[in-house]
Chain A
């Protein structure tokens, strides 16, 4: 019987014939934490009997969520994380390096890997054909120590994507549409596997956006095949040798197949306070925005900076709107400087932040006031997410966000093209 990508990777890593529903113990190829989950993970690790890392070279600590730190307490957490890195010899990506998921894609994730991170958006690396999933501090501490974890092999929902995106429509609209369709728990405990002719030619930056949001449908992983696009991406990162092909078998068994035609897809927006509360951008034209946020592990990539700059060039952000732009990694930041994107955005009135998670989770750099509306390219719009339960968060693509920053209200980007 053929296997899905999940079944193939977990068979390989558990040295067994893993099929959906089985419980397996899998080796772990990369394990990481960030600065808001790391301290608890390190404490859980230190409360274990075995206090050595299974693989220091494949254990990474990221200081990205509060970077640079806004408070004494978080600065002390950062010291704690740096000391642990020094003690164990594991990898440390300190303030300024960028968001963990972007750096994992650039430097660490390999097709076919099992990756666990103490962050729910660890699913991002599924774009590269890695079985990558978020876990809590105890599970990650055990994976750090033993180099393995247990999984229930997930059933897979296959998403067949066909057609061409119209101008102004892209990967973010596709994943928002899909989450709206199946619901915030539509894929709980399941794997999502993306395929179809749109996927075959979809660049890595768009795949990363889609996999990143698999968790917003409850999925354990959001997987793409590892193909020529993956090979090219790894080559660009100087990691050509790390490419291996990963494909599902043609006779793999799926729980369900969902077909999405991108020809008819429109710019989509998720309304407060759930990601599955979706609507078309054009139906929300009456919503005025106070803040527009472009960045995060969902849409803080070089292509997002390029798109924002092209829409903002020689224009001014609408009076009364704060446009906050945050490249997801130092590499993206420096390349955006060289390409002139950040200059264009700043000249239009945008506020450029250092690489990191910025205001996405409400710690700093863009907390909302009461009744304020933020249109964000992030992945979550839960009540209270951006530091205030009285704030209202809408989620959209970079094109919709940049266009709306110019008009001061939610705007279908096709109007500007």
Chain B
């Protein structure tokens, strides 16, 4: 991934953001029309999210982000909305793996001092998050090596297509 620096604004969410809040099951009929589905990203948690989010912005949440369904559409619509990384105190297991498999960095870090609208700069290599608005720096838990290899290839399918197999 080289020296990847991500910069954008924080969209703040609370604890326990379920996959139903990220992309509701009632939109299952749009799952073969991803651009249309992505218009409903985070709808029941923040109805203005898709209108306000800009490419490069971040989702910043509390604990157990992405609990519930295995729908990979959850990180997929977040990615399609332009989000470049998701920061949370903790992630539900399936969502965490799905995000990495979609090439979306899911970073475990303290998020209490980040406010909605703060501008953040993230160095994926150094493992740091600089809050430009508050002039604070936080570090995130390193992504396990096996998953970092997948993330660095842009997701699981590109990884398998390049390496031809699962390697640890």
Residues of A within 8 A of B (CB): 23, 25, 36-37, 39-40, 44, 47-50, 65-66, 70-74, 76-77, 80, 117-120, 122, 134-139, 141-142, 145-146, 148-150, 152, 184-185, 188-189, 218, 220, 274, 361-363, 367, 380, 382-385, 387-389
Contact = CB atoms under 8 A, between A and B. Distances in A.
Contacts of A25: 166, 168
A136 B94 contact: yes
A361 B144 contact: no
Contact of A138 (B28, B156, B165): B156
Interface stretch (B14-22, B50-58, B78-86, B112-120): B14-22
B125 interface: no
Q: How large is the interface on B (under 10, 10 to 19, 20 to 34, 35 or more residues)?
A: 35 or more
Contacts of A117: 70
A363 B68 contact: no
B166 A142 contact: yes
Nearest to B90: A185
Contact of A383 (B31, B44, B144, B165): B44
Nearest to A69: B29
B25 A138 contact: no
Interface stretch (B3-11, B97-105, B126-134, B135-143): B97-105
Contact of B102 (A138, A384, A388): A138
A164 to B, nearest CB: 33
A117 B156 CA distance: 17
A371 to B, nearest CB: 15
Contacts of B63: 185
B148 interface: no
B160 A188 contact: no
B107 interface: no
Nearest to A141: B157
Nearest to A66: B28
B20 to A, nearest CB: 4
B157 A189 contact: no
Interface in B1-47: 16, 18, 20-21, 24-26, 28-33, 44
Given A136-B75, A142-B156, 12 more contacts: A39-B31, A71-B29, A139-B98, A146-B160, A185-B64, A185-B90, A185-B92, A218-B93, A220-B93, A380-B68, A384-B44, A385-B20
A122 B94 CA distance: 12
Contacts of B25: 36, 361-363, 384-385, 387
A135 B97 contact: yes
- With most chain A CB atoms within 10 A of its CB, the pick from B63, B69, B101 is B69
B101 A150 contact: no
B26 A384 contact: yes
Interface of B: 16, 18, 20-21, 24-26, 28-33, 44, 63-64, 67-73, 75-76, 90, 92-94, 97-98, 101-102, 144, 146, 155-157, 160-161, 164-166, 168
A66 to B, nearest CB: 6
A37 B68 CA distance: 14
B97 A136 contact: yes
A39 B146 contact: no
A138 B157 contact: yes
B72 A138 contact: yes
- With most chain A CB atoms within 10 A of its CB, the pick from B28, B33, B71, B160 is B28
Contacts of A135: 70, 94, 97-98
- With most chain B CB atoms within 10 A of its CB, the pick from A25, A65, A72 is A25
B156 A139 contact: yes
29 contacts: A36-B25, A37-B70, A37-B71, A40-B31, A40-B72, A40-B73, A44-B157, A49-B160, A49-B164, A71-B29, A77-B31, A118-B70, A119-B69, A120-B69, A120-B94, A135-B94, A135-B97, A136-B98, A142-B160, A146-B160, A148-B166, A150-B146, A150-B168, A185-B90, A362-B20, A363-B25, A363-B29, A384-B26, A385-B20
A185 B29 CA distance: 30
B72 A361 contact: no
B14 to A, nearest CB: 12
Given A65-B28, A146-B165, A48 B93 contact: no
Contact of A134 (B44, B70, B76, B168): B70
Contact of B71 (A71, A136, A367, A388): A136
Nearest to A186: B64
A49 B156 CA distance: 12
B16 A274 contact: yes
A5 to B, nearest CB: 18
Nearest to B168: A23
Given A66-B28, A73-B32, A139-B97, A383 B21 contact: yes
A135 B97 CA distance: 8
